[in-house]
Chains A and B, each alone.
Chain A
């Protein structure tokens, strides 16, 4: 057996580079930003910086724009997540069996993953333009509408439109993740079920889904945090408009920090976002445990 000393040093050495980088470039600024939230810190009044306790949070609690953004964020995260997950899963299932040209097909359908969010946003803004955008032209040409719709400027369509673009952007992520998960399910399970006379749907419900649950949960967890904090699409496509109809918490944060220059308030908003996400993820873990326990019972 190895001596104890070496045993305790090894993980420390291995963790050191990663933790050092995180501590210096993320944790340290994060702690500093955290303390903004208790300060009156408006850049245009540099001499009036002062500790004000929870005043920023109190102001946030009375902020109607905050609640509107919170509501929109909920729709944005759930809508994007559901769309990305369902379509990504479907694509993963379709790609499971080999067919000719699968590699090329994969390269094409996974390619959105490789493009920057900013470019995606600019492209979609053009595609959805009511006068010269192809989407409207095609829908008109197919006789599905009578007049063009200004998707990004309509109070009811703005948020769904950016969600649609985000779903499109996120399909490859889920297809890759879930596709590899499918590949790791042992073939024998399906064969046994087929011998027992189970149909395709039954096999999917009884074998595929339970085997995939851990992957699904991990993917949903990582992706929900990511979508929550993903502002590029909305910022470029609608700028939160019209009239805040597509404003989410991070785009609202952008306004408070970089337009109003109120870093104290922005700090309070960031801490609130952090706590909301932590609560959401806590609930998610509980749900995960509940489902896996129940899964084992049946």
Chain B
């Protein structure tokens, strides 16, 4: 009966192992669970340090940090909300706010916020960012993301070039670096998941406006300027071939890795990626610059952000709020922004000596002009799903199966319909 002995052995070992699992600490402290969705071992360490300080200041609360890999985060949170078995605090991506607020999953933070001592210290845009849905503060931003141009400083120096100031220059410089045989390309174009952000950038700077909708609530995406912008973006791949052939499937990870693995000379993304480039390329090999302006002579900067939200189904809302309030206090939020490479929450945070480094300057300079800054329509419950599916249409455009006009019209129709539904609900 060899096999039975074997199964018996396995059971015995597993039983022994299980003895080690069950011994969590039993105490009468309030337990707050915090789900972070942008998992990662460095990020975990920073958060754990912040949690340690919080627990020291609040001995009656313990915080359990839970992480889920970014690629599986949305499904996980959807499942948790759909089944009512949620954490107390969740890290909320900007694009998800409308969706989860519409699901009735999020708790309004307004009453707590009214009592919060640091209201004056945080950036004014925070209020708009937190209140995108129903003008209610469902998500408390912890810092902001702004896109800028990353370029290979060493390669630019070799060719005696400076970062492009306009979209026309952008094409020429990208062409100058493109040598498929090497293989080397000018630009890490994002054709896969999340390409919508970049498409929007070019559509807006060609159209000269960052309004998503006109006064009647119709999307501006099918306006002639917007279509030209989309065409320009697609032509980088289709006509000028300054992007790698596999860029059609690039998501956030691939576009960044194409840069540090020496395939591309430029990409456009968040300051968070500085950390990744530093770990692979080291200092001095790359720089950042403001985004190129379009034919309209303007640039428009999307303000992205991560937030903390309290779940409506949470049973520890008081303790959860105390945790968020601590995490977003000026000192902690600046600590977080510094370690996480993002634009800090407070008005004065960017005066920290740390942010005086050259690499951060373009990010701050771009948002110093308030009329250039815009928010996508995060209030639409369908925005997240739309954003996640937009690359399929864009890929059709890159493959020549659809024209820029067709794609722009399709997007405009979907956004207009979502907007109309939203308006009907409000009225």
Contacts and interface: CB of A to CB of B under 8 A. Distances in A.
Interface stretch (B114-122, B218-226, B392-400): B392-400
A46 B246 CA distance: 40
Interface in B390-418: 391-392, 395-396, 398-399, 401
A242 B261 contact: no
A131 to B, nearest CB: 5
A160 interface: no
B24 interface: no
B261 A155 contact: no
B392 A241 contact: yes
Main secondary structure of the interface of A (DSSP, over half): loop
Interface residues on A, range: 20 to 34
Interface residues on B, range: 35 or more
Given A43-B82, A131-B261, A147-B180, A243 B244 contact: no
A242 B395 contact: yes
Contact of B246 (A129, A255, A259): A129
B335 to A, nearest CB: 33
B385 A242 contact: no
B246 A44 contact: no
B391 to A, nearest CB: 7
Given A131-B263, A239-B193, A258-B75, A44 B249 contact: no
Contact of A46 (B104, B248, B261, B396): B104
Given A131-B244, A153-B245, A261 B396 contact: no
A242 B191 contact: yes
A243 B396 contact: yes
Given A44-B99, A46-B104, A239 B180 contact: no
Main secondary structure of the interface of B (DSSP, over half): helix
Given A44-B103, A241-B192, A153 B246 contact: yes
Contacts of B399: 155, 242-243
A44 B192 CA distance: 25
Contact of A242 (B104, B180, B249, B389): B249
Contact of A258 (B74, B263, B382): B74
A243 B392 contact: yes
A102 to B, nearest CB: 23
B198 interface: no
Nearest to A235: B71
B385 A260 contact: yes
30 contacts: A43-B78, A43-B82, A44-B382, A45-B102, A45-B381, A46-B104, A129-B246, A131-B183, A131-B258, A132-B263, A148-B183, A149-B245, A150-B248, A152-B249, A153-B191, A153-B249, A154-B245, A238-B249, A239-B249, A239-B251, A241-B249, A241-B392, A242-B248, A242-B395, A242-B399, A243-B392, A243-B398, A243-B401, A259-B385, A261-B78
Given A150-B246, A152-B249, 15 more contacts: A44-B102, A45-B102, A239-B249, A239-B251, A240-B392, A241-B192, A241-B249, A242-B248, A242-B399, A244-B392, A255-B388, A255-B389, A259-B384, A259-B385, A263-B82
Interface of B: 74-75, 78, 81-82, 99, 102-104, 180-181, 183, 191-193, 244-249, 251, 258, 261, 263, 381-382, 384-385, 388-389, 391-392, 395-396, 398-399, 401
